[in-house]
Amino acid sequence: MSAPLHPDEAASALAEIRDQQGRLIEAVLVPAWYWWIVAAGMVAIGAAADTRDPAVLAVVIPAAVVVIAALTAGMIFGAYRHAQVRSSALLGGRGALAIVAFVWLVVGLTLGIGFALRAAGAGLPATTATAAGSAALVIGGPLLMRGLRKIMLGNRSGAAR
Amino acid sequence: MSPARFDELIHAPTRLAIVSLLAAAEWADFKFIRDELGLSDSALSKQLATLEEAGYLEIRKAFVGKRPRTSARLSKAGRAAFELHVAALQEIVERSGASVLRR
């Protein structure tokens, strides 16, 4: 290969490539407030379940589910409305595994604590369990995003090798 | 050593920015590319046409409701050319003894 290009120009071009790809990656990451809203919805569901009041259950649970589902759908379709990131190539197996592990962690933690408290006869088992799951979401969600950002930035073209 | 080929067509600054953006995407909307890169409609159209003529880009025109929507994606040849170009740039930097710093 022969290219009359100065190394500084090549480095600058590589930096430009990384910047452009980094901007696209940033655009698809979930903001921190998303985790807080989903967490609030989860706690609302847990608290409603503990009331065992049919009227509360009939109102709170569908409302919370609709809010969480609408927000999640908005996040996904909002991110993919103008561009679709090559998530399979950028995330790779490690990124996909991190997402699946995080979901299982939150679900497992919530259900595990809930069933354990219920078996022990503790008060407000669903509220406590969903609060614990929500804490995992609020703390772990941004950490997951940070990890996915790192993985995707590492897998983009022109990344350090 | 990985194959590398410097590509003059891709290396032009505006085209490099367009191709870099598209390399991380399955596809991107015309408006999205224009706004991200701060280009005018005509400047972006011209560069997209050049890349399409070279076989590096596929342009898709569709309607969302009644509104026309143009999107672009790198073709297989465009993606391959871009990867070879990146490898060529990395070789130039590495041969000089500098490191490719992660940012």
- What's the confidence (pLDDT) of residue A82? 83
**For an interface test with B, which of A25, A86, A151 has the most B Cβ atoms less than 10 Å from its Cβ?**
A86
Residue A151 contacts residue A98 (beta carbons within 8 Å): yes
- What's the confidence (pLDDT) of residue A1? 47
Q: Closest CB to B92: pick one of A7, A82, A90.
A: A7
For chain A, residues with pLDDT lower than 70 are: 1-4, 158-161
pLDDT band with cut points at 50, 70 and 90 for residue B103: very low
Contact status of A12 with chain B (Cβ, < 8 Å): no
Q: Measure A78 CA to nearest chain B CA, in Å.
A: 13
Q: Measure A97 CA to nearest chain B CA, in Å.
A: 20
pLDDT higher than 70, residue B101? no
Q: What is the value of ipTM here, to two decimals?
A: 0.86
> With an 8 Å Cβ cutoff, are B102 and A153 in contact?
yes
Q: Closest CB to B21: pick one of A24, A153, A160.
A: A24
> With an 8 Å Cβ cutoff, are A82 and B28 in contact?
yes
- What's the confidence (pLDDT) of residue B88? 94
Q: Measure A135 CA to nearest chain B CA, in Å.
A: 31
Question: How confident is the model over B4-34, as pLDDT tens digits?
Answer: 899 999 999 999 999 999 999 999 999 999 9
Question: How confident is the model over A69-107, as pLDDT tens digits?
Answer: 999 998 888 777 788 888 888 888 999 999 999 999 999
pTM score, two decimals?
0.79
Q: Show residues of chain A in contact with B20, CB under 8 Å.
A: 16-17, 19-21, 157-158
- What's the confidence (pLDDT) of residue B102? 43
Annotate chain B with DSSP letters as a single string.
-------HHHHSHHHHHHHHHHHTEEEEEHHHHHHHHT--HHHHHHHHHHHHHTTSEEEEEEEETTEEEEEEEE-HHHHHHHHHHHHHHHHHHHHTT------
